[in-house]
A and B are shown apart, each in its own frame.
Chain A
Amino acid sequence: MSVFSNKSEKLFIYIFFGIALFIPLFLNDNTFYINKIASIIILAIFVMSLDYLVGRTGLITLGHAMFYGLGGYIFTILAPEYEAVNFWLYTFYVMTASGFVALIVGLIVLRTNGIYMIMITLALAQMTFYYFADSVDYGGLDGLFIYVKPETSIFGLNFLDLDNETHFYYLCLLSLFNCFIFFKVIMNSSFGRIIDALKENPDRATALGYNIFQFRLIAYVIASSLASYAGYLFALQYGFVNPTMMSWDVSATALVMSLLGGLGTIYGAILGSFVYEGLHYTIEHLTEYWMFFMGSLIIALVLTLKNGLAGFLNSFSRGKSDE
């Protein structure tokens, strides 16, 4: 069984990772663009986790950025201030800790669904936002700084220097690739099949003896935990965390990217993030009022493109309309 669900996905993944692998060589250590692309890759990991949650389980959350922010904060709070810690060890800590938070939050929000879940996830994320924004210990709105980046040795071997932009870029790219494979494996596993069944027909799945709540909770914890990993990478890239990482518009924009790429397609998350950020970057340079154009674009997108860019590519590669 192939990892890819269709031809356009396979083509996109080959082309994307093919270009992404070699692009630092062509940028000639132009760190601005290497950093920019790395930041979009991090965003794509975040969007991918949301894409799985929303597109596959059908549970819409508007508070996913809460875990993005938590990823950064958990690292910054746990790690000693002036001492390089181990990257892999802290990846484990960050993901476990935020997975635990997701378990608690999930127990509350998954009691509801639909419109209620949208509002409650948003409200809880705002609550976390205000908690950090008001907290004196955690730097309030200014957030916290990371003075020393972690070292990345495994068994004494040290390949990556996180202070080097190109090294960091490859770490992000590897993470994105792993994330993609991880979600594809999940989707093809029996767990993924049950999740699909739950979305398709919850009553029937219940009748077959599956505990909907448990499966949803597991998917929620996985997605949230990966979102926190993306936030952890973000914090390492910029060297600080602040509450704006978990503000509501981060969640909303990620949903837009996910829809733009094609909900539930996983690779659409990469597509959506890059297209959205590309447009954002271009329009922002043309006009101060970029929000007006992005907003109009989102509205036009909802009204026209039902299956996202992935659906468009798919119907294009098959040479006929998907409808």
Chain B
Amino acid sequence: MDSSFYLVQLLNAVQYGLLLFLIASGLTLVFGVMGILNLAHGSMYMIGAYLAYYFTFLTDNFFLAFLISGAIALIIGFIIERFLIIHLYKRDHLDQVLLTVGLIFVFNAIQSFVWGNDPLGVEVPSLLSGSIKLTDIIEYPVYRLFISGVCIVVAVGMYLIINRTKLGMMIRAGESDRNMVENLGVDISKLFTIVFAIGVLLSALAGIVSAPIVSLVPGMGEHVLISCFVVVVIGGLGSIKGAFVAALIVGLVDTFASVLLPEISSMSIYLLMALILLVKPQGLFKN
């Protein structure tokens, strides 16, 4: 256990944290703007991963599969918002929970119908399959760096869109006062559709890029959803900045707990969440 071992763990932690951010940002964005808690958010991650598997298999090109799966995810998001979520804006939290639980069931059934229940894997694209030498004996896979890169690009892109564009302005306005935005003549239903589709895309994107490094199994979405909840609760629901910081904290705690304290590793992030809630019930970055 020397310093290079810890360096590898640190890179893993950051990569996992960034991936969690990608998913959590979608969840928190949709909640922040629309006031909707989408429990089927994890299913979108799962669907993203399976779509990536399917199109990589068909086209033999991971990057093409990446684009096609992303486009399909956007369409799925659009359809779900237009036909189902649209009925929920005036309902309470319980109806949101139940409807999105229904969606989880439907997506799980679709997954098991189309792809079966055996674990599947996607090959790492040959362009990114190499490793980088960190020291003489320890190497780090390029693909994991690629994932971190994609996440950082998305994070920066989101920051720019939210802070520098007209759409971003409407999103920020929608977060602070929904009625006022509507009264000022913004077509709020269009804004909601766009935001929801982006949220779905973010989650699916995480599924697509992580498809080559995880095994695709039924239930993978729920697992991710719950880690994502921890991130969002710690960061403060609706805060994208909070999600970013919290995702990195969760990534670090989860990775290092499994190395240093294996007995409690699967509980570590929940313990962290409980501790933070005791001090700040609204999360770290709730304004």
Contacts and interface: CB of A to CB of B under 8 A. Distances in A.
B106 interface: yes
Interface in A256-287: 256, 259, 263
Contacts, number: 121
B277 A108 contact: yes
Interface in B230-267: 230, 232-233, 237, 266-267
B229 interface: yes
Interface in B189-239: 222, 226, 229-230, 232-233, 237
Interface stretch (A67-75, A182-190, A291-299): A291-299
Interface in A83-132: 108, 111-112, 114-116, 118-120, 122-124, 126-127, 130-131
A108 B105 contact: no
A233 interface: no
Contact of A295 (B31, B93, B103): B103
Nearest to B111: A291
A97 B169 CA distance: 52
A123 B105 contact: no
A295 B281 contact: no
A119 B28 CA distance: 12
B95 A302 contact: yes
B98 interface: yes
A123 B270 contact: yes
A111 B281 contact: yes
A204 to B, nearest CB: 19
Q: Is the interface of A mostly helix, strand, loop or mixed?
A: helix
Contacts of A301: 98, 102
A299 B94 contact: no
Given A119-B229, A255-B97, A256-B98, A134 B266 contact: yes
Contacts of A115: 31, 37, 93, 237
A112 B31 CA distance: 17
A293 B97 CA distance: 18
Contacts of A127: 267, 270-271
Given A112-B277, A255-B98, A303-B99, A123 B229 contact: yes
Given A62-B97, A108-B278, A256-B98, A292 B105 contact: yes
B101 interface: yes
A123 B97 CA distance: 15
A124 B278 CA distance: 14
Contacts of A112: 277, 281-282
A126 B277 CA distance: 16
Contacts of B271: 127
Interface in B103-123: 103-110, 112-113
B176 to A, nearest CB: 17
A292 B233 contact: no
Given A256-B101, A294-B105, A303 B237 contact: no
Contacts of B161: none
Given A292-B109, A295-B104, A248 B226 contact: yes
Contacts of B274: 108, 124
A259 B98 contact: yes
A229 B281 CA distance: 30
A29 B91 CA distance: 47
Contacts of A130: 266-267, 270
Nearest to B113: A289
Nearest to A124: B270
Contacts of B278: 108, 111
Given A115-B37, A123-B230, A134-B266, A291 B94 contact: no
B196 to A, nearest CB: 16
B71 to A, nearest CB: 24
B237 A291 contact: no
A176 interface: no
Contact of B105 (A62, A114, A263, A298): A298
Nearest to A134: B266
B125 to A, nearest CB: 32
A241 interface: no
A252 interface: yes
Contacts of B99: 298-299, 302-303
A81 to B, nearest CB: 24
A258 to B, nearest CB: 9
11 contacts: A115-B37, A118-B97, A119-B237, A123-B229, A127-B267, A127-B271, A131-B267, A252-B98, A255-B94, A292-B113, A294-B105
Given A116-B282, A291-B109, 19 more contacts: A54-B94, A108-B274, A115-B37, A115-B93, A123-B273, A126-B226, A127-B270, A255-B94, A256-B98, A256-B102, A259-B98, A289-B112, A291-B112, A292-B113, A295-B104, A295-B109, A299-B84, A302-B102, A303-B99
